[in-house]
Amino acid sequence: MNQFKTVQELLLFQESLARHKPDKVLIVSNATCGRAHGSLALVEAFKEAWKKHGLQGQAHLRVTGCLGYCDCEPLVIIRPGGFFYARPSPDDVEEIISESLIGDKPVEHLLMKDSATGETVWKENEVPFYRRQKRWIFADNFELDPTSLEDYLRNGGYRAMVKVLTEMKPEEVIEEITRSGLRGRGGAGFPTGAKWASCREAEGDYKYVICNADEGDPGSYANRGLLEGNPHSVIEGMIIGAYAIGAREGYVYVRMEYPLAVELIQKTINDCRSAGKLGRNILGTGFDFDIEITCGGGAYVCGESTALMASIEGRPGEPRAKHIHTVERGLWDRPSTLNNVETWATVPKIIKNGADWFTSVGTGDVSESAWGGSKGTKIFSLVGKVNRSGLAEVPMGMSLREVIFDIGGGIKDGKNFKGVQTGGPSGGVLSEQHLDIPIDYERMDEAGSIMGSGGMIVMDEDTCMVDLARYLLGFLMDESCGKCTPCREGIIQMYRILDDICNGKAKPEDMELLHELSEVLQTASLCQLGLTAPTAVVTTLKYFPEEYEAHIREHRCPAGVCKALSSSEVAAAT
């Protein structure tokens, strides 16, 4: 692709692409989960078949990123027929091509059987996992090859960027984002419009936009799905944001545990540079902006905004106190706007479809302020002991029950629901009594947990809540940066108490000490890691007190997990 020197050139090119939409498409997903299950070989097989049957020009082979139904990837979907195959092998390719692609018929023995109901799924629009979702952001993953700028353009990409650069003033962009009620999807839920406005107003000529792609929460990988499936959407969002704020440089901080995402984002940036969409004088509009990638080094705390910025600066990722916010003094002491991957990916959609479109879904009222409600959709990683697991994009306000049972298909192996861990290690564990809570920022807070980055780990009766609380503390203990005393020393002490409980060595004064330590950490820690560390303990104590009682008083682990408390004796043979 040549460099587009003006907006006109880009629009003309886009129009020409639109004229060549293929009649039939065969989609194969080829992201991390897919590759782990042989998608590379599958793609090769399809490429061979394309040559063999001379399908070039008649049908389009689209190799996509993550399609969200991770349990079953790689997926093969044929449109417009809607035939849906989960994990076919390269040996099945021939049959799929001749019967389904050319013959327009389903190959019955390859069709997916739903893991919850056991029923055969005949068409894409019948897939139970997808049916109740509202894939405003994620649906694009099906429409494009993440390595192809052409695909992104053909699908209407960069329209929003063009609109912003040619028709809107920066203040108008901020106004639109503010009206939409968009709140940060990284976990804190801070109103994006307000953040951008503060940064724009902050003193200084040199500003930065940063994409937080560290996604450290275990169990949460919605960002990976977007980075591997639709990296351009993130870049487009950042360009729009940079324009609105007045930033000339941007950074994407990707965790090193996502090597494919790093590769794809780098390629995307390179492609954008070659095409004139990044760099100096973007599309001849006079707007200069470029993006660099920094890789994480395997530290969870680097997901915290000030720690992340320290890491980009080449220092160890230790947070600092935020009485001066990063929008005023952030990266290299300059005004910086840090947003999550999902937030950035949502921005182009809002610009394209309008704030009113976004507010049509969700809870609350954002006419006064974005804090008044939770609008739009959110992508959750629904994992753990559910029948159907993967990335689910749902409207704010859908209940936990609907997500776990309707979309997730209920608990695996016929077991009983026990709890759901939301928001990563900083979040808490919710129990059966919370299943009907509508998912939004405020309601989750009230229940004692947080929405966080969207991790939703479902647990059944075989999970011990005390063990889980101990595990979460252990995780945070490892990842604590060590700078402030409450976190560095407090978490260890809390962990030891929980360890004692799990080993039947709890002392009566332990509970009081646990409460006291929780209070100290929640009040005095320097950053959110320490401040939210007690949440797991606090929520499990509140919602599963019987389990703690059993461990402490009866030296018994009801779930049968804590080895020291679950002894089995071998009876003599009779």
Partner 1 sequence: MSERIGVYICHCGTNIANTVDIRAVAEYAKNLPEVEVVREYKYMCSDPGQEMIKKDIQEHNLTRVVVSSCSPLMHENTFRGAVEDAGLNRFLFQMSNIREQCSWVHSDRKQATEKAKRMVAGAVNRVRWHRELTGREVQLDQSAMIVGAGITGIEAALKLADAGKKVYLVEKEPSIGGHMAMFDKTFPTLDCAACILTPKMVSVGQHPNIELLTYSEVEEVNGYVGNFEVKVRRKARYIDEDKCTGCGSCLERCPVQHKPGDNGHMLPEIEMTPEMQRRVDQIIDCHKHEKVPIPAILNGINQELGFLPKPALRYLSQQLQVPLSRIYHIATFYTAYSLEPQGEHTIKVCLGTACYVRGSQRVLEAFEDRLEIKAGQTTPDMKFTLETVNCPGSCTMGPVVALDDRYLTVDPNEVEQLLRSYA
Q: Give the shortest CB-71-to-partner 1 separation in angstroms.
A: 5
Distance between CA 254 and CA 266 in Å, rounded? Answer: 10
Q: Which residues of 50-89 are buried (b: 16+ CB within 10 A; e: fewer)?
A: beeeebeeebbbbbbbbbbbbbbbbbbbbbebebbbbbbe
313 lies in the site for partner 1, by CB under 8 A: yes
Q: With H, G, I as helix, E, B as strand and everything else as coil, classify residue 495.
A: helix
Query: Does 324 participate in binding partner 1 (rule CB under 8 A)?
Result: no
Contact status: 35 vs partner 1 (CB under 8 A): yes
The least CB distance from residue 508 to partner 1, in Å, is 20
Terminal CA-CA length for the chain = 80
Work out which of 29, 32, 141, 340 binds partner 1, going by CB under 8 A: 32
In sequence order, the 6+-apart residues with CB closer than 8 A to the CB of 565 are: 502, 503, 504, 551, 555, 556, 557
What span, in angstroms and rounded, lies between the C-alpha atoms of 68 and 229?
Answer: 9
- Kindly tell me which of 155 and 306 has the beta carbon lying closer to partner 1: 306
The residue with tokens 């952001």 is: 137
Using CB atoms within 10 Å of the CB of residue 154, give its burial: 0 to 12 exposed, 13 to 18 middle, 19+ buried. Answer: buried
Q: Determine if 385 is a binding residue for partner 1 (CB under 8 A).
A: yes
Q: How many helices (H) and strands (E) does the chain have?
A: 23, 15
Residue 469 found at the interface with partner 1 (CB under 8 A):
no
* Binding-residue pattern over the window 272 to 301 for partner 1, x denoting contact by CB under 8 A: -----------------------xxxxxx-
Tokens of 573: 């043979």
**Binding residue for partner 1 (CB under 8 A) from 38, 218, 279, 397?**
218
Which one of 229, 455, 486, 530 is in contact with partner 1 (CB under 8 A)?
A: 455
Annotate 502-521 with DSSP letters as a single string: HTT---TTHHHHHHHHHHHH
By CB under 8 A, name the one of 288, 328, 479, 499 that touches partner 1. 479
Q: Which stretch binds partner 1 (CB under 8 A): 171-179, 417-425, 432-440, 489-497?
A: 417-425
Report 52-71 residues binding partner 1 (CB under 8 A). 70-71
Asked if 9 is part of the footprint of partner 1 (rule: CB under 8 A), the reply reads no
Q: Is 417 in the site for partner 1 (CB under 8 A)?
A: no
For residues 304 and 14, give the distance between their C-alpha atoms in angstroms, rounded to a whole number: 39
CA distance linking residue 278 with residue 11, whole number of Å: 16
Give the integer Cα–Cα distance in Å for 309 and 301.
Answer: 11
Find the part of the chain contacting partner 1 (CB under 8 A) among 132-140, 176-184, 474-482, 514-522.
474-482
Distance CA 321, CA 246 (A): 26
The contact mask relative to partner 1 for 328-367 (x = CB under 8 A, - = no) is: ----------------------------------------
Task: Choose one: 7-15, 126-134, 465-473, 511-519; the region binding partner 1 (CB under 8 A).
Answer: 465-473
Among residues 389, 449, 535, 540, the one that binds partner 1 under rule CB under 8 A: 389
Least Å from the CB of residue 60 to partner 1: 28
Q: Cβ neighbours of residue 203 under 8 Å, at least 6 residues apart?
A: 328, 335
Span near partner 1 by CB under 8 A; candidates 15-23, 119-127, 229-237, 454-462: 454-462
- In the bound complex, what is the minimum distance in angstroms from residue 520's beta carbon to partner 1? 23
For position 481 contacting partner 1 by CB under 8 A, the verdict is yes
Query: What is the gyration radius of the CA atoms in the chain, in angstroms?
Result: 25
Residue 544 binds to partner 1 (criterion: CB under 8 A): no
How many residues sit close enough to partner 1 to count as binding (CB under 8 A)? Answer: 50
Among 112, 472, 477, 529, binds partner 1 (CB under 8 A): 472
For the chain, what is the largest distance between any 2 Cα atoms, rounded to a whole number of angstroms? 89
C-alpha distances out from residue 170 to 247, 291, 394, Å = 11, 19, 30
Of the ranges 112-120, 137-145, 380-388, 396-404, which one interacts with partner 1 (CB under 8 A)?
380-388
Buried b (16+ CB within 10 A) or exposed e, 261-285: bbebbbebbebbeebbbbeeebbee
User: Is residue 471 part of the contact set for partner 1 (CB under 8 A)?
Assistant: yes
Contact segment (CB under 8 A) with partner 1 among 251-259, 338-346, 444-452, 507-515 equals 251-259
Give the C-alpha separation, 113 to 433, whole Å: 31
Position 381 contacts partner 1 (CB under 8 A): yes
Nearest approach in angstroms of CB 125 to partner 1 is 22
> Using CA of residue 87, residue 90, residue 91, residue 95, what is the dihedral sign?
positive
Residue 23 has a CB neighbour count (10 Å cut-off) of 10
Q: Which part of the chain contacts partner 1 (CB under 8 A), choosing from 118-126, 314-322, 402-410, 511-519?
A: 314-322
The residues binding partner 1 (CB under 8 A) are 32-33, 35-36, 70-71, 215-221, 224, 256-259, 295-300, 312-317, 381, 383-385, 389-390, 421, 424-425, 455, 457, 459, 463, 468, 471-472, 475, 478-479, 481
